[in-house]
Amino acid sequence: MAWQTAALALLAAALAFGGALFLGALAIAYFSTHPPRRSPHRTPEQFGAAYEEVTFPAADGTPLTGWLVPAQSPRAALLLTHGMLANRADMLPWAQWLWEAGYSLLMFDFRGSGQSGGSLCTMGLHEPEDVKGALDFLQTRPETAELPAGILGFSMGGTVAILAAASDPRLQAVATHGAYATLDRVIRQRCIRHFGPLAPLVGWQTRRIGRRWFPAESVEAVSCLEAVRRIAPRPILLLNGARDPIVPPDNAHDLHAAACAPKDLCILPHTAHPYPSRRDEPDYRRQVLAFFERAFAGA
């Protein structure tokens, strides 16, 4: 009887362990494609900017919601694109000093996020259509129609910025912070962060479960390593936190190696994944502003 009891206990433990791993994989797959809907609770008004709530369609017709933040005597218009599980308000820390430097801004919620339409986040597969719709919208507005356009994207927004710019020459300058080189790599890294040595097993389950919602045969459909080459001769600035556990700096190094000149790489020594640390922020601002100033000098 003792050995039967022990065997049942081991079986129960194995089932519980396997179930926990399955639930972990399910959570990653589900919440990556179904981010919680959060409406922005902060606006550009917090730093004194007048703004307009706007709606416009993505290039494939998905309805999007955003803020148009015009600057006085603007030098260019910039799209600010947010990361996964976020919305446009997450880009407000960047918006303040870019607006103060004389850039008109368009900040919007990606499909499946915030107040925009769409039922799924596709983690970079279809979001380039959102960027193209945003550029179409800028061309319909008298405040921005004649301005050169650039983009600054964070995390998923940076990956989307690269993919959109590769096929849309209207983006004359591309800056990314924490952009992942491939979707497969960021899934693997997320599994490592949460499950350590069990990451390969959870990652396999995550990809398998994710096929239910991800609208492509494989996560390999989202990769910037080839697309980043097609941005040249337009300039690209790749920024990444040296301490980033979600998108480690090897992503930025690989994207920089794959890109063609003109290209710049900046690894922030004290920064993890979010907005730069206080110690890195002053130099970070200088580099981003100098990048856009050079990019639009002849516009």
Domain count, the chain: 2
Q: Do 194 and 228 share a domain, yes or no?
A: no
Q: Do 290 and 236 share a domain, yes or no?
A: yes
The neighbour count for residue 233, using CB atoms within 10 Å, is 7
* pLDDT for residue 4 is more than 80: no
**Amino acid letter, 214:** F
Q: What is the pLDDT of residue 21?
A: 79
Is 231 in a helix, a strand, or coil? helix
Domain range for 240 is: 40-182+222-295
Q: Do 72 and 10 share a domain, yes or no?
A: no
Per-residue model confidence as pLDDT tens digits over 180-229: 999 999 999 999 998 999 899 899 999 999 999 999 888 999 999 999 99
Q: Do 103 and 26 share a domain, yes or no?
A: no
Q: List % helix, strand, coil for the chain (3-state, nearest 5).
A: 45, 15, 40
Element at 222 (helix H, strand E): none
Q: Do 226 and 142 share a domain, yes or no?
A: yes
At 52, which CATH number? 3.40.50.1820
Q: Which of 221, 245, 268 is the last residue of a domain?
A: 221
Question: Tokens 């910037």 map to which residue?
Answer: 224
Q: What is the pLDDT of residue 35?
A: 93
Per-chain mean pLDDT for the chain: 94
The residues that bridge with 80 in the sheet, in sequence order, are 107, 152
**Amino acid letter, 142:** P
Q: Do 5 and 115 share a domain, yes or no?
A: no
Confidence of residue 1 (pLDDT cuts 50, 70, 90): low
Q: What's the mean pLDDT in 235-253?
A: 97
The phi and psi torsions of 214 (rounded to 5 degrees) equal -75, 120
Distance CA 228, CA 22 (A): 35
Q: Do 131 and 273 share a domain, yes or no?
A: yes
Q: Do 130 and 107 share a domain, yes or no?
A: yes
